[in-house]
Structure 1
Amino acid sequence: MSHPLRLDRLRDFVGHLSELLDTSSDEASILDQGGRLLQRLVSHDDWLPEDFARPDPQRYQQYLLHADARQRFSVVSFVWGPGQSTPVHDHRVWGLIGMLRGAEYSQGFARAEDGRLSPEGAAVRLEPGQVEAVSPRIGDIHRVSNAYDDRASISIHVYGANIGAVRRAVFLEDGSEKPFISGYSNPYLPISGTCPKRTLRNEPTPQPCLQRDPPSPARPAGGGADRCPRGSALRRGTSAVRRQHPAVQAGAGDPCAGAAQRYRRHPLRRRRRAGRDRRRTPARTRLQRRGAARGGPGRLARGRR
């Protein structure tokens, strides 16, 4: 028997951290008190939805759990597949790393006199319930890896900004920097169920955020529960896009097929489409067509006689 998810733990953590940032701007205090709040959160493994705990065989995943409305902090679930690791990178903001499931190694790096990066001390192994802090003040460059080669690990990261939108850097062997913006891997947020804006990973073919509500098992037809969401991009999407809808993947049919057809056939849309076509047609062609419809050469052709 599965127990209900304790999402209230995540809500409480977000609320308490918001209160902390309202009352203090001292980084040392934030890392100390925020670390205790995060330790309390990761000491329980009964609140993270399965959609934010899925590993990927190709690379580690960064699932946004919460982004502060004032961009003061973000909470991210990092899911490490067996043997996966990050490149050497920085953050540019303070951060807290709490281990929820499995274990991971965090290896710090320091810049030598010749500009190259070298490991600083031994790698730190994080076990469930343990928390580590990073920041430009105390050490910000590191590499993180899954401690296991045969199973996934999950850590919860908290950063002092919307980390998926921060311009950061990975470091090459010669110490040179390669800028990057990480983005996120998830199509919706666990608390609000809304789509994160401009948070998809910067890849050639990112996964689109298609719906306003989190995926759920398809409900039986007739109750209206599987209707195409109002305002959804699925109404305007192609059949290939709509096939990603959870109801379609569950074999319950395409709830947006009729809505998409009505959308394309709507009189206003036909009128707008006709207006676009008219604007794209050169004036010479339009005048020639008008003359042909009237049985004559058209005003443009008559003027050249």
Structure 2
Amino acid sequence: MDLINSFCTELRELLKSTDSQPEIFNRGRQLLSGLALKPLFLKEVLRRFATDDEFLKNRLLTADPNEITIYVDPAGHFSLRLYVWDPAVSYPVHSHGSWGVVACVAGEILERRFKLLERGSTPGCAKLKESARAVLKPGETTTVLPLDQGIHQMEAVVKEYSSISLHLYGKSIRRGFLEFFDLQKDSVYRIMNPYLYGRACALRALGAIGEDWAAEILGQAAAADKKPHIKYEAIRALALLDREAAVKCLEKEIAGGIQPAEDFENLLKILK
């Protein structure tokens, strides 16, 4: 753990000394590359995941099934995560809620970058175009910007075994979900941690059921839930059953200063 502690200490000092993104990326890539080339730092982390049942049961689940969380800064300024890329699995194109630096630890990883051409006039629509691609080998790094500026896809190049990448993420500017993109359908959808994704699925199911009782439950959920991304799911589903009620909910949340407001404002424009 000394290597991880040393890395986190240097990174913390870097973030305290500057808010310049180029400077953070430049030094962050140096630090992350150095750590990635010393896989001994993974010994204790992987031992616990591989052998400790209680640790595995009690860990915090995230939206990414291939993620191993190594460290989360108590103040929320950064996190360090490991991703395992199975050559048999095709991972979706996605964006991030923060800036990030990525280093290859083992194998080879193909990164494809995408430019957002447009988001459709209805939620769930998005058109992308591939803008660049590169292969990362151990110690090599890349960077990502948050939201629509950092849409990319990563996948294993080596077919005989999994590839591994180490990810440093900065402070989140969008919490609660990831956006995944389907290139064939020109669509975008949200993925949350397994606990909340179950609730989001229930809300979407209610929106597909054309019954008064379904609209009633959705109205209750929209009013009661404190998480903005879940509240949005409830109102969006409610709009399918009771447009007027959904508009009132949106106006109330926007007037109350809900953050981030962009999703709510865009949905309101569509419904009006």
Deviations 1:45-85 (A, max 9, x none): 2120334787xxxx951011000111111100101223333
Q: Which has the larger radius of gyration?
A: 1
Query: Pick from 52, 66, 70: which aligns with 1:65?
Result: 70
Contact 1:102–1:153 (CA under 8 A) maintained in structure 2: yes
Deviations 1:34-54 (A, max 9, x none): 111111111212120334787
Query: Pick from 19, 28, 52: which aligns with 1:25?
Result: 19
More strand by share: 2
Q: Which amino acid aligns with 1:131?
A: T
For the structure 1 residues 82 and 144, does the alpha-carbon distance in structure 2 shift closer, same or farther, using more than 3 Å as the test?
A: same
More helix by share: 2
Name 1:145's counterpart in structure 2.
155
Query: Pick from 176, 180, 190: which aligns with 1:179?
Result: 190
Counterpart check, 1:169 vs 2:179? yes
TM-score norm. by structure 2 comes to 0.58
Query: Pick from 71, 79, 98: which aligns with 2:103?
Result: 98
Counterpart check, 1:77 vs 2:82? yes
Counterpart check, 1:130 vs 2:124? no
Gaps of 5+ in 2: 51-63, 121-125, 199-272
Partner secondary structure for residue 108 of structure 1 = strand
Give me the whole-angstrom Cα distance separating, in 2, the residues matched to 1:156 and 1:137: 20
- Greater CA drift, 123-132 or 137-146: 137-146
Aligned length, in residue pairs: 176
Deviation at 1:22, TM superposition (A): 1.0
Superposition CA RMSD, Å? 2.8
Give me the whole-angstrom Cα distance separating, in 2, the residues matched to 1:203 and 1:72: 25
Partner secondary structure for residue 82 of structure 2 = strand
- Greater CA drift, 133-142 or 30-39: 133-142
| Identical counterparts, % of pairs | 26
Give me the whole-angstrom Cα distance separating, in 1, the residues matched to 2:83 and 2:166: 6
Give me the whole-angstrom Cα distance separating, in 2, the residues matched to 1:125 and 1:53: 28
Contact 2:68–2:83 (CA under 8 A) maintained in structure 1: yes
Gaps of 5+ in 1: 1-6, 184-199, 205-305
Q: Which amino acid aligns with 2:112?
A: Q
Contact 1:60–1:84 (CA under 8 A) maintained in structure 2: no
Name 2:234's counterpart in structure 1.
none
Give me the whole-angstrom Cα distance separating, in 1, the residues matched to 2:26 and 2:89: 29
Contact 1:53–1:79 (CA under 8 A) maintained in structure 2: no
Q: Which amino acid aligns with 2:134?
A: V
Name 2:254's counterpart in structure 1.
none
Deviations 1:71-111 (A, max 9, x none): 11110010122333320110031001011111111101112
TM-score norm. by structure 1 comes to 0.52
Deviations 1:217-251 (A, max 9, x none): xxxxxxxxxxxxxxxxxxxxxxxxxxxxxxxxxxx
